[in-house]
Structure 1
Amino acid sequence: MENKNEEGQNQEYLIFTLGKEEYGIDILKVQEIRGYDHVTRIANTPKFIKGVTNLRGVIVPIIDLRIKFAQKNVDYNDNTVVIVLNLAERVVGIVVDGVSDVLALSPEDIRAAPEFSVTLSTEYLTGLGAYGERMIILVDIHKLLNSEEMALVDRLHTQ
């Protein structure tokens, strides 16, 4: 599918799972997808910051979105992956339950984010993508990773 991110055109999203929910992030922010490996834990950080890993000479903070979104029974298995994101000023890895596919959604496929509480604050949502029978929660990963609590990630970079 062709990626057309101009107004009124299709936008491609990497679809990942957290528990039973499907989420989508802008494919252009994704650098790579890796299996979950051992990370070096940093003392005095919140539980959702798993630590850091060395990715070809770059120290990458690893955030477990499952813990951040308060999921119960966070399990690490063969399907657990790290999505490495390249966000202009930093490289960050996010741990998710799995990655399913890449979908191109048109503006008509995207509904406004609901005003009630879901697994994360609605300020991080760009909308809900309807794809056949699937409902995909579209996340503005840049806003999510630039929240106040994520400023801790920047401090990890400088340590």
Structure 2
Amino acid sequence: MRERFYPSHVRAAMYEEFLHLQQGSSSVVEYHKPFLELVHFARMLIPTELAKVEKFVAGLNYEARKALTVSKPRTLKEAYLSATDLYRVQQLQRGSFEFAKKRNEGSGSHSFKKSRQDFRARPAPSSPQGSARAESGAQERTFACKRCGKDHVGKDYQGHAL
């Protein structure tokens, strides 16, 4: 019946489109719709349900493809439902990240994070002992404690020797 209503050049174009069909930036639902429309033009390429599943999964984005490869759906419907569930969870996750990011940006200068420069290596404070060490060639470096921000020369924040 397709041969009667679709000229051969249209069928060939649909077949080619199906071969290169990918989810890209579209949702799973937006990818599934043309997949179902074009799968009819590639019956020789995908003769079985398992072949349909493999082609559908191969066209999904990396994270969805990875998840579905592990779950091994047996039907196209199972693959589609798993992919839509995963896509929904990813969207919720992205939304919560965006919400947290906006909330942190709104807090302004009340950030609890220390700047990176607070934790960079600092030269040891000069002292009579320090100059004797420098003369002998043994120069000691100190680092700001990541926990309290103070210098603990040769010791960690609990007083243990390094």
Q: TM-score range by the shorter chain?
A: under 0.3
Identify, as 1 or 2, the structure richer in helix: 2
Looking at both structures, which has the greater relative contact order when contacts are Cα pairs under 8 Å and sequence separation is at least 6?
1
Bigger Cα Rg:
2
Question: Normalised by the size of structure 2, how large is the TM-score?
Answer: 0.23
